A and B are shown apart, each in its own frame.
Chain A
Amino acid sequence: MDRRLIVILGRVKTLEPVVIRGRYNRGGFYRSLPYLPSSTFSGALISHYFQEKGGSDNIYENLAQRYVWFSHAYPWEENLDMGDPLPLPLRTLAKKREEDKYVSTAVIAARIIAEMLIGNEIVDKIRNLDPKVGTVFFSTGKLQKPYDLEAYTHVSINFHSRTHEVIRRREEKIGLLYTIESIPPGKNFILKGFIDEEVYDTIKKGIKIKVGSCRNKGYGEIEVKVLKEMNLDEYIELRKDLIAKYMESKYVALDVVTWAFPQYLEENLGLPVYERFRRGHFKVWLNGKFYIYRNMAMTGSVFLYKKEKTVDKYVEMETTPPDDPISRLHGLNMVFFNNPIHFIEG
């Protein structure tokens, strides 16, 4: 891996409504994601870079030249430090019923399973926790709810009758009336990226790029600013210190920041003691075809392992982008170890 990488903490602000088509529901309704996916952001940034600097006609050659490995951009109004966890929708988050405090159930669950913990004290602890927190983004003791989305119904007009157009596909009549959710303008997001110096030079003073769908009709403009940056070696040392803080625990916690192959986690860390694993698949359109990733561990998945590796190994996993430029562009296998929330006593 090229050690001249720079790690950045970036602020993304929506200037126009942003349409990120998450899922298509029946009745022509496109649901949006509450965050900006890493693949969407990286793709837009790399396109901008090669439009400015020029590149070859072969997209794969272009991607091989540059290093970009970004997390998703998560809704977040506050600031963060470089070594802090990103605000992830953690699957193990729970609220203490009598207090306005959030904890993670990961370690207590792992201890029950691995150490056969039983007793009234444990039962009381669990009873006091409400796991139904919904989709929220949590970091450094603070919580951010997803932004309210706007939904607009669009229509394609028939040029002759000036009513909504209908098309026929294989005997089926499809009306071109469709509703799209969008993230409104003025919303703030935060992300982390591992990039080479050339890409850093493009964004260090701030840039505006377009992401998502309907970019040629007033949607998608975002402003990107670098909040903090550090060279990779400094970042590695910072993370070593922060991961080591919780190495007295029997367990090490892993949060999936973007999407991770379960086989990748197993090959490097073995089988987990405990997991809250959101499984899903996603597809990305690139250069005329879909890349489909199936049965991935989704963002917010939490795994607990017995502490069997060294701190250096955990940091290496956090800071090593995939070798394959397409996987890097799509932000795969970005993970975070020992998020402090997992070690707060419930």
Chain B
Amino acid sequence: MKLLVKFKVKVKFKGAHIVQPTNEVRKLDYKLTLYKKLICDKIVVSPIPPTSFRGALRHMACIAARNLGDEYREAYFSLFGSDITQRCFKEEKNEELTPSTREGKISIELLEGLSVRDGNFEVRPRIRIDVKKGVVEEGALVFSEAISKDVEVVFRIKIQGELNEKEKKLLQSALSLLKGWGVGGWGSIGFGIVESIEIEEE
């Protein structure tokens, strides 16, 4: 029987802006991505999907691994699996990589989110200024849904198999580096910033 370690991660985000394009140009160019899950017969939503959270965690693990040293490279691939883009480390094998060449130990799922009524979505206009003329650039007005209030989401991180010391250290480093990092879009103007992160083993 394979070992499975689970822990809850409660994350508080300062707003959220993960969007999908719509075809309502100049009315609502971008709509919030709402990940939905059925939990105890109720649909629970999260404006931060598990895919985005895992991606951000992976990014933090890459930064941590590159700073901790080359000996953490194997721990990085062991936790997150193969990366066809080879963004973090070049993989030594010469075969063509696919997302399933090597599966990572970590999987993420949503445990608690918002009910649909909680969603305080706003529609925000954005413009781009022509730096020479000092006026709005032509065609540069977009309308996008966003959430500017705090969003609290609880994810479950599941780990298949045992973690060695390097993997544990890398995962802990990645989780602590997430604080202050932006998940999703408009991070440069304060959306999706991780304000706090609490971890509890199940």
Contact = CB atoms under 8 A, between A and B. Distances in A.
A54 B43 CA distance: 34
Interface string B81-96: 1001101100000001
Given A15-B37, A153-B21, A216 B87 contact: no
A218 B103 contact: no
Nearest to B44: A185
Contact of B108 (A17, A169, A217): A217
In this complex, the interface size class of chain A, counting residues with CB under 8 Å from chain B, is 20 to 34
A185 B44 CA distance: 10
A215 B106 CA distance: 10
A167 interface: yes
Contacts of B63: 159
A14 interface: yes
Interface in A244-266: none
A51 B1 contact: yes
Contacts of A53: 1
Contacts of B81: 216
Contacts of B125: none
A218 B85 contact: no
A17 B106 contact: no
Contacts of A158: 85, 87
Given A52-B1, A158-B87, A217-B54, A14 B38 contact: yes
A340 B60 CA distance: 59
Interface of B: 1-2, 20-21, 33, 35-39, 43, 49-51, 54-55, 59, 62-63, 81, 84-85, 87-88, 96, 100, 103-104, 106-110
Given A16-B38, A215-B107, A218-B54, 10 more contacts: A15-B37, A16-B110, A17-B37, A52-B1, A153-B21, A154-B51, A156-B87, A216-B107, A217-B54, A218-B110
